[in-house]
Structure 1
Amino acid sequence: MTPYQRTQLLQTRRHFLAKGSHLLGTAALASLASPLITSQNAFAANSGEVPLHFAPRAKRVIYLHMVGGPSQMDLFDYKPAMQAMFDKDLPESIRQGQRLTTMTSGQSRFPIAPSKYAFKQYGECGMWMNAELLPYLSKKADEICWMRSLHTEAINHEPAIAAMQTGNQITGRPCLGSWASYGLGSMNENLPSFVVLVATPKNREQEQAISSRLWSSGYLPGEHAGVSFRSSGDPILYINNPPGVPDGVRRRTIDGLNTLNQLNYDAIGDPETHTRIQQYEMAFRMQASVPELTDIRTETQATFDLYGEDAKKPGSFANSVLMARRLAERGVRFVQIYHNNWDHHSNVAGRMPDQCKDVDQPCAALLDDLRQRGMLDDTLVIWGGEFGRTIYTQGKLSKENYGRDHHPRCFTMWMAGGGSRPGQIYGETDDFSYNIVRDPLHIRDFHATVLNLLGYDHERLSYKHQGLDQKLTGVEPAHVVNDLMA
């Protein structure tokens, strides 16, 4: 007798009745209500594990994460008053005893470093943007929902990225992509519902370590973890048959493994065994779908011109964004792209142009490409990092160059398409881009809003784990921000 069978025999009558306490009533209610449900809530049918709570505005997400924390005051948060305060110390009334990283906590001074870049207002919304480094994205000002008041408690990269991706500074929780996969499922049985691409920046001066724990499914079933596509060699390890092994042999091998795993699952009931069966099947189906997906030679020259010359280079940000569009087009629910080297502790003048050149044209192209294909209205594009940067310099200061430390109190992100409100500028910071003075937006609120756009109430999208109904937004208050939605 197996441990699982012994557990079943030890159940009391009370346990048994508690499990089915509402079965008959639920069945009767379902039979009476089914016509109403079918007619009014057709949107609730999806291939995931959780019915939609209301009609979604977005069917899929492309999330562009800038690893390291982009400098908001050098890109999107214009602070002209700082020009007159060059090299003056940041007032204590502004810093307010904020916790600092060990990289600047020992400094005797906190000299203000105004942005060296010129800014202009763009679009009818009047968004101030870096006029030198963002020539393509600046033309999309009225198509983008700007969020200038994001904030978080995390001050170092590892906990900050974990918080931004999973809602918690402690690693091991499911990330946003896994929650989307868990709820929505896939629109293509031959591809994963959640795919991760790690783009290689041109400038590799100071990259942060990133790993698969950021796209882990945590306590959710394993099939909702992100599947990482590689930029060289086989897109996925072992996707192709070994030499001398035809498809028929591999099919029979998988069938045999699945039979053994099913026997084990029937006896023990371990959900990880069920996940393994699904992963073997998905891997076999992907043998046919992935080669076609990754063959970008089918794209037109006009598309390559749109994304830029790097679009043909495997592993580049432009190539990754083009691949994200192809994945979304084929039914992948959530595509996560990581672009590294935004940790500007020094040499902002030397590195920011490279970083912006990497992402500016491809990001603008993605919006155009999705719109041309009729996909932008139901594809949510997200851009941002894990925190912002300080107005004061780290290390040596000159008018031509400077560095900036981590800053969690305020930073800028943007969204486009997928039901977000175009031309919205949400939130405002003080003259130092240090504290929020209007409409603070915690990352929990951001997560709640994204889930809302996907058709889910963040309070109700949960998973039972360790006796608790676990949620992306955790137990702290989180609010959907209606001003961010069209």
Structure 2
Amino acid sequence: NSGRTQRGRPSLGSWVTYALGAETDELPAYIAMADPKGLPVEGVLNWSNGWLPSLYQGTVVRPREPRILNLDCPAALQGEPQRNYLNFLNELNREHAAAQSDRSDLQARIANFELAARMQTAAVEALDVSRETGATHRLYGIDNPESEEYGQRCLIARRLIERGVRYVQLFTKNQYWDHHGSILTALPASCRKTEKPIAGLITDLKQRGLLDSTIVHWGGEMGRLPVIQNDAGRNKVGRDHNTYGFTMWMAGGGFKGGCTYGATDEFGHHAVENVVNHYDYHATLMKLLGLTSEQLLYKRNGREESLLDGQAGRVVEEILV
């Protein structure tokens, strides 16, 4: 997610929101949605801001209600009492911040609390999929128990994008695609959970005129070997990790549709044709997002940090419109 195996670096979503900022002041610019059965491997590092200001960390939306904890105002404070309280608090915050103008962490903390107050109305509406039609629910597979939960998250992602959220990430639990064993049953189950919702998302974005301005990226950190892993016995075969050649797909946002780029060797093991590494992919994303390398610089401990970390990524023009 960060382009490096070194822990502690900002996630891609943090870099994007650091460079582009927010499109709305009522919702976070960067939202991550976890699986109800658990966090992905490495947990919060997947949406961490690293050493960027905390304003750029992903906001987690829970997989079940309440999707954001502690969002509702206590009954005794609702209405005018809350408005008076927030107005007074705003005066105190501005006075305190003016005296410590060099404290970016303080500025980020104040901004986060102010955003939380605005989210009490905007987030509740944005996360409510019951406002959608039955046809839309069926499009996302919400009418099927196998794809219902993932379909709801894909639909929420579309609702967030419509409302100006800059970067949305969906995760599956733990090592959901890590099929070292039982691949003959586990892989089809994983596909049934995700394939209709993600197809529905792309279809919905397109019919609403949002796909051309939205990049959809599906991928993970590695692929699988083209040979059987048989640690668990004949009836529970799987496939081990393969970092030398694997596939991701993208849609919308300036990517050329209906094309395949790159190829592996005859064994499906190593990428040998039109190889794209993560620096190339990040450089390509930067072009599509209208970003320059100077916009993705952050000075830290006397060093200029960046998404590409000083590497010369190649823009893959062949897959762009």
The answer to whether TM tops 0.5 is: yes
2:4 aligned with 1:171: no
Q: Conserved in 1, the CA contact under 8 Å of 2:11 and 2:48? A: yes
Partner of 1:138: none
Contact kept? 1:265, 1:271, Cα under 8 Å: no
| 1:437-448 alignment, distance < 5 Å | 437-448=272-283
- 2:249 pairs with one of 414, 432, 435: 414
Looking at structure 1, the residues matched to 118 and 169 of structure 2 have their Cα atoms a distance apart, in angstroms, of 22
User: Of 315, 320, 326, which aligns to 2:159?
Assistant: 326
Where do residues 143-162 of structure 1 align in structure 2 (5 Å cutoff)? none
Alignment match, 1:483: 318
Cα 1:432–1:459 shift into 2, 3 Å: farther
User: How big is each residue's C-alpha offset from its partner over 1:134-161, in whole Å with a ceiling of 9 and x where there is no partner?
Assistant: xxxxxxxxxxxxxxxxxxxxxxxxxxxx
Conserved 8 A contact 1:173-1:218: yes
Is 2:235 the counterpart of 1:235?
no
- Structure richer in strand, relative to its length: 1
Deviation at 1:379, TM superposition (A): 0.7
Q: Which amino acid aligns with 2:182?
A: N
Note the alpha carbon deviations across 1:453-474, whole angstroms, 9 max, x for none.
Answer: 1111246521112222211111
Report the 3-state secondary structure (helix = DSSP H, G, I; strand = E; otherwise coil) of the residue aligned with 2:298: strand
Distance 1:434 1:323 in 2: 36
Check 1:376–1:469 CA distance in 2 against 1; reply closer, same or farther (3 A cut). Answer: same
Unaligned runs of 5+ in 1: 1-164
Offset from partner CA, 1:52-80 (integer Å, 9 cap, x none): xxxxxxxxxxxxxxxxxxxxxxxxxxxxx
Structure 2 distance, partners of 1:483, 1:459, is: 24
Query: 4+ residue runs of structure 1 moved beyond 6 angstroms?
Result: 311-315, 397-400
8 A Cα contact 2:230 2:236, kept in partner: no
Equivalent pair of 1:200/1:315 in contact (CA under 8 Å): no
* Percentage identity across paired residues of the two chains: 37
1:376 has 2:208 as partner: no
Structure 2 residue aligned with 1:316, among 133, 149, 162? 149
**Counterpart residue identity of residue 18, structure 2:** Y
Preserved contact between residue 448 and residue 457 of structure 1 (Cα < 8 Å) = no
Which entry has the higher C-alpha Rg, 1 or 2?
A: 1
Structure 2 CA distance for aligned equivalents of residues 259 and 166 of structure 1: 38
Q: Out of 247, 266, 270, which is 2:103 matched to? A: 270
Q: Which residue number corresponds to residue 30 of structure 2?
A: 194
**More contact order relative to length (CA 8 Å, sep ≥ 6):** 1
Give SS of 2:169's match.
strand
Per the alignment, residue 37 of structure 1 pairs with none
Q: Which residue of 2 aligns with 1:223?
A: 55
Is residue 284 from structure 1 mapped to residue 284 from structure 2 by the alignment?
no
Whole-angstrom CA distance in 1 between matches of 2:232 and 2:73:
56
TM-score, normalised on structure 1? 0.61
Distance, in Å, in 2 between the alignment partners of 1:476 and 1:198 is: 31
Tell me if 1:301 matches 2:134: yes
Matched-pair contact (CA < 8 Å) for 2:40–2:171: no
Q: Is the 8 A contact 2:31 2:60 kept in 1?
A: yes
How far the C-alpha of 1:208 sits from its partner, in A, is: 4.9
Q: C-alpha offsets along residues 164-216 of structure 1, whole Å, 9 cap, x if unaligned?
A: x1122122222111122112222221111111111347xx9xx8534222211
Q: Which one of the candidate residues 41, 46, 63 is aligned to 1:209?
A: 41
Match of 2:202 in 1: 367
Q: How big is the alpha-carbon RMSD for the aligned residues of Structure 1 and Structure 2?
A: 2.3
2:227 aligned partner: 392
Partners of 2:303 and 2:85 in 1: CA distance: 39
Residues 174 and 310 of structure 1, relative CA distance in 2, 3 Å threshold: farther
Note the alpha carbon deviations across 1:362-391, whole angstroms, 9 max, x for none: 111111101110111111100011111112
Per the TM alignment, residue 293 of structure 1 is displaced from its structure 2 partner at its CA by 1.0
> Which shows bigger deviation, 284-293 or 462-471?
462-471
TM-score (norm. length: structure 2): 0.91
Which residue of 2 is the match for residue 121 of structure 1?
none
Aligned-partner Cα distance in 2 for 1:259–1:333: 29
**What secondary structure sits across from 1:239 in the alignment?**
coil
Q: Does 1:355 align with 2:190?
A: yes
Q: Secondary structure at the match of 2:112?
A: helix
1:318-338 Cα shifts (integer Å, max 9, x gaps): 110010000001111110001
Alpha-carbon separation, structure 2, partners of 1:329 and 1:465 = 34
Find the aligned partners of 2:32 and 2:196 in 1 and give their Cα distance. Answer: 21
In structure 2, relative to structure 1, the CA distance for the partners of 1:222 and 1:483 (3 Å cut) is same
Contact kept in structure 2, 1:426 and 1:439, CA below 8 Å:
yes
- The one-letter code sitting in structure 2 at the alignment partner of 1:301 is G
| Partner secondary structure for residue 474 of structure 1 | coil
